[in-house]
């Protein structure tokens, strides 16, 4: 079996930077439980897609073997810095770049010192990847739709299978998109609109019911809640896993009003 685990996680740095904040603690605790599950699945690599790594030209893949440094988020800099210590499975990433040609996608490697790896990738790697498994990181090309993102994830898994590797599939992004655009008391953070909160919870229920229910729900959910990047991070999970039979929600909450969750999928 190539895919040994799969997760949908928030890319907000807030639960990582302030895990003690009561409003963000459930997400931090959810991350800890998901990290245990990922470790137990013993992957050789993590196939990670973050909505926050934006590309507009070509499909980009990280191929720098080791990125080390400190990242300061452009929005949440006041809450602290994010340490970066990310290792990449370069042979697998390069094979994915080659594999993009087979699905008609123009792709490029990214191997540059001080490249600003996005906040979502850093948060997921720090919070979820306690084993320090190497990553394969794919950018979110804003012109790629849900279906093409699924195809790319499926291609990546097929390439991993060709290398005989066990992989975890991780989609990094949020749920409902409405955030507080004025300063708030962070202890009272909550999903901004009650309707979004209800929609988030219903959508998480759909994930728990399996991939058919998730597919049926995602379009309406994304448009009703202005969900993060049309939920393309779920497309990555759907494409990578080929479907799931259920899910467990390890954590749910708000990140400055926007919906966020940590979800582990039950593989089909």
- Distances 135 to 121, 126, 203, 213 between C-alpha atoms, Å: 10, 12, 28, 29
Q: Is 112 among the residues that bind other proteins (CB under 8 A)?
A: yes
Using the contact rule CB under 8 A, the part of the chain among 34-42, 49-57, 123-131, 187-195 near other proteins is: 49-57
Nearer to other proteins, 1 or 56 (CB): 56
Using the contact rule CB under 8 A, the part of the chain among 113-121, 155-163, 187-195, 230-238 near other proteins is: 113-121
**Binding pattern to other proteins, positions 178-207, x when CB under 8 A?**
-xxxxx------------------------
Token pair 């998901």 is found at: 34
Using the contact rule CB under 8 A, the part of the chain among 31-39, 93-101, 175-183, 231-239 near other proteins is: 175-183
Q: Is 56 among the residues that bind other proteins (CB under 8 A)?
A: yes
Q: Is 20 among the residues that bind other proteins (CB under 8 A)?
A: no
* Phi, psi for residue 127 in degrees, rounded to 5: -85, -30
Q: Is 146 among the residues that bind other proteins (CB under 8 A)?
A: no
Helix (H, G, I), strand (E, B), or coil: what is residue 172? Answer: strand
Q: Is 70 among the residues that bind other proteins (CB under 8 A)?
A: yes
Alpha helices in the chain, H assignment, sequence order: 14-17, 25-41, 90-100, 119-128, 146-162, 194-209, 211-225, 232-241
Q: What's the closest the beta carbon of residue 89 comes to other proteins, in angstroms? A: 20
- Residue 14: CB partners within 8 Å, gap ≥ 6? 21, 24, 76, 79, 186, 255, 256
């Amino acid at each position: 079996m190539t895919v040994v685990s799969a997760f949908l996680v928030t890319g907000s740095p807030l639960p990582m930077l302030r895990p003690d904040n009561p409003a963000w603690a459930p997400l931090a605790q959810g991350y800890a439980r998901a990290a245990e599950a990922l470790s137990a699945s013993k992957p050789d690599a993590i196939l990670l897609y973050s909505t926050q790594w934006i590309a507009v030209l070509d499909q980009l893949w990280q191929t720098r073997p080791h990125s080390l440094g400190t990242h300061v988020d452009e929005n949440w800099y006041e809450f602290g810095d994010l340490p970066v210590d990310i290792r990449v499975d370069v042979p697998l990433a390069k094979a994915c770049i080659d594999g993009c040609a087979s699905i008609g996608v123009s792709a490029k490697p990214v191997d540059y010192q001080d490249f600003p790896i996005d906040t979502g990738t850093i948060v997921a790697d720090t919070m979820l990847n306690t084993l320090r498994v190497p990553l394969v990181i794919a950018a979110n090309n804003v012109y790629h739709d849900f279906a093409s993102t699924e195809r790319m994830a499926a291609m990546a898994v097929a390439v991993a299978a060709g290398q005989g590797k066990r992989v975890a599939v991780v989609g990094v992004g949020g749920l409902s998109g409405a955030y507080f655009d004025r300063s708030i008391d962070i202890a009272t953070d909550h999903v901004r609109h009650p309707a979004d909160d209800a929609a988030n919870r219903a959508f998480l229920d759909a994930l728990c019911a399996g991939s058919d229910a998730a597919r049926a729900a995602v379009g309406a959910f994304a448009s009703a809640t202005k969900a993060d990047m049309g939920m393309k991070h779920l497309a990555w999970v759907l494409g990578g896993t080929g479907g799931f039979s259920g899910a467990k929600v390890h954590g749910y909450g708000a990140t400055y009003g926007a919906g966020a969750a940590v979800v582990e999928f039950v593989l089909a």
